[in-house]
Amino acid sequence: YLTRAIERMPVLADVGLQLNFNGPESFTPDNRFLLGPAPDIAGLYVAAGFNSCGIESSGGAGKVMAEWMSTGIPASDYWEMDVRRAMPFQRNRRYLYDRTTEAVGNLWNLHWPHKSPKTARNVRVSPLHDRLARAGANFGEVAGWERVQWFGEPGVQPATHATFGKDDWFRQSGAEHAATRSGVALFDQTSFAHLLVQGRDALALLQRLSTNDVDVPIGRIVYTPWLNERGGMESDVTVCRTDEEEFLVVTAAVQRIRDVAWLRNHAKRAGQVTIADVSSGYVTLSVMGPRSRELLSRVSPADFSDAAFPFATAREIEIGYGLALAFRMTFVGELGWELHIPTEQALGIYDAIVAAGYDLKLHHAGYVALNTLRLEAGYRDWGSDVSDEDTPLESGLGFTVVWDKKSEFIGRTALEAERGKTPRRRLVQLAVPGDAPLMFGSEPVWRDGVLVGYLRSAGFGHTVGCGIGMGYLHADLGVSAQWLKDGRFEVEIAGQRHAAIASLRPFYDAARTRVKGEWLELESLVSAELCAAR
C-alpha cells in the first residue's frame, strides 16, 4: 500500500518514514459508528466502531457524546450512527467475520443507488422469500432483512449495476408504480416490527408517549409520532387498539430496537404494563391499488365496502384457508389494506391472493416503487424526512397533534412554544420538471440564488412524470406558502442547477380522494402547478 500511495502522490517517495504503524481496527457491519445510549442497560453509553476514522472524528464524537450524556438528547440527528440501529443477531461472530471482510473495502468504495452488501446475507427472510425469488425479486438488505427492491422477469437473475442513471431497476419499479396507481399490487412488508403493549396502564403509557389520541374504540388505527422533550420525533408508529387493555404497535424494521427501548424505559414509571416484541409472529402483505377491494373480495367473505370497513380501522378477516388482521390504511396514496398474517399461515394466503389476482394483472412490487409512490403522495419516512430533531409542526404533521386530549404527552411544552407560528424551518415538497438527472436525496435547494436547504429523500414520480423529493427549507421570516410562491427555486443535481417547483402540498392527489375510494383520472390528480410546468 505504500507503493500505491507513492504512485498517487510521488512526493511521498522523498519524505521518509519516522513511524510505520499497523494495528487492529474495529469495523461495523454497515461502516458507521456506534454511538449513544445502550438500549437495554440504563446509564451505559457507547462510543465504538470507528471504522478507521476514530482519530479524525474524535473531537466531534466526543462533543456529541458529552451533549448526549448530559442532556439525554443529541444536539442533532445522529440516527445513522446510533447504536440502537444494531440488531441482536449482529453480535454473531461468524456474521461479523464474513461481513467485516467486505466492510473494510467498502469504506472507500462509491456507494451506488440500491447497492447492498454481498456477504453475510439471508439472515432474516420472509417465509415468502423463495416464492418472491421465483417471481423475479431483487433483494436488498435492511436491518438484516432480505427485502424486495424490485422485480425483474420471472426466472431471470436480476442485477444492480454501478450507475446513477436509469438502470433496469428504473423501468421495472416504474411498472410496479404504475400498476399500483391503475390496478392492484402486492407488497411483502414482513420486515415490519410488531410490539404488543398490554396491561391496566397500557393506555396511559401510550397516551403519554403519543401526540395523537390513542384512546379510541377497539378496532381503530391511529398514526402518531412519539416525541422527546425538545419536540423532535423519536419515532412514528401505527397503533391499533385490539382490546380495552391491549394495543398492537407497528413500526419500521430499523426502528425496532429503538422503539422497544423507548417503550420499556417509559414503562418503568407507568405502572402495570408489559411490552412484548411479537414481530416473528407476523407476515405482512399489503394489497394496494384501485382494484384491491375487488381482489380481496375474491379470497375473503369479509365486507370491504367503505361503510363496513372505513379507513383507519382494523378487523380480523377470513382469507384463503386462514385468518389475518386487516388494516385499512396506505403508505402509497391508494385504496388498500395491510394484512398482518400469522407466520405459519402466510404461504397459503399468499398463494390464494396471487391465484385470485391473475386475471386482474396483479403486480408484485418492491420498496423502490413503494418509495416513489409515497413521495408523490407526500407521506413522510422516519429516518429520512423526519427525525429526532424535527418536530411535527416543521414536518407537516401537525394534524397528528391532539392539543385537547385529556392526558399530557412528552414534548408538548416545546410544541406549545411554536404553536400558531410560521415555522422558519419546514419540510417542503419539490418537483423538477423536465429531463433532469435522477435525484436520490441530499441535493442542495436554492431560492433566488441563495442556498436554503437540502433534500432529505428523492426519487422519480412515474405518475407526475418528473423527479420529486422532500427537504427542509429555511427562512428567517418563516417558510410560508406565499414565500414559496414568490421565490424562484432550483435543485442542484450532479453540480448543475435545475428549475424546481416548491409546495407545501403533495404533487399527487393532495385531497386524498383515491384513499377514500373515489376514482378520478390520474392526470386530474397531479397538481395544476406541476401540470403547467411540464
Question: For the segment 136-185, what is each residue's pLDDT rounded down to a tens digit?
Answer: 999 999 999 999 999 998 777 666 777 888 988 999 999 999 999 999 99
Q: Out of 202-211, 505-514, 515-524, which region has the weakest mean confidence (pLDDT)?
A: 515-524
Would you state the pLDDT for residue 223? Answer: 99
Superfamily the domain 282-360 falls into: Probable tRNA modification gtpase trme; domain 1 (3.30.1360.120)
Q: Are 56 and 41 in contact (CB under 8 A)?
A: no
Query: Which residues lie closer than 8 Å to 109 by C-beta, 6 or more apart?
Result: none
pTM for this structure?
Answer: 0.94
CA 44 – CA 436 distance, rounded (Å): 48
pLDDT above 80 (res 23):
no
Query: Which residues lie closer than 8 Å to 477 by C-beta, 6 or more apart?
Result: 422, 424, 483
pLDDT above 80 (res 534):
no
* DSSP single-letter state for residue 432: E
**Cell numbers found for residue 523:** 392526470
* Residues carrying CATH 2.40.30.110, the chain: 418-533
pLDDT tens digits along 242-253: 999 999 999 999
Q: Are 426 and 456 in contact (CB under 8 A)?
A: no
Q: Which CATH code is given to the segment(s) 418-533?
A: 2.40.30.110
Query: Which residues lie closer than 8 Å to 17 by C-beta, 6 or more apart?
Result: none
Torsion, Cα 35 39 42 44, to 10 degrees, reads: -30
* Residues carrying CATH 3.30.1360.120, the chain: 282-360
- Mean of the per-residue pLDDT values of the chain: 95
Query: Which residues lie closer than 8 Å to 115 by C-beta, 6 or more apart?
Result: 160
DSSP 264-304: HHHHTTTSS-EEEE-GGGEEEEEEESTTHHHHHHHH--S--
Q: Out of 149-153, 232-236, 392-396, which region has the weakest mean confidence (pLDDT)?
A: 149-153
| 199-202: long-range pairs with CB below 8 Å, 24+ | 199/245, 199/271, 199/272, 199/273, 199/274, 200/245, 200/271, 200/272, 200/273, 201/270, 201/271, 201/272, 201/273, 202/245, 202/246, 202/247, 202/273
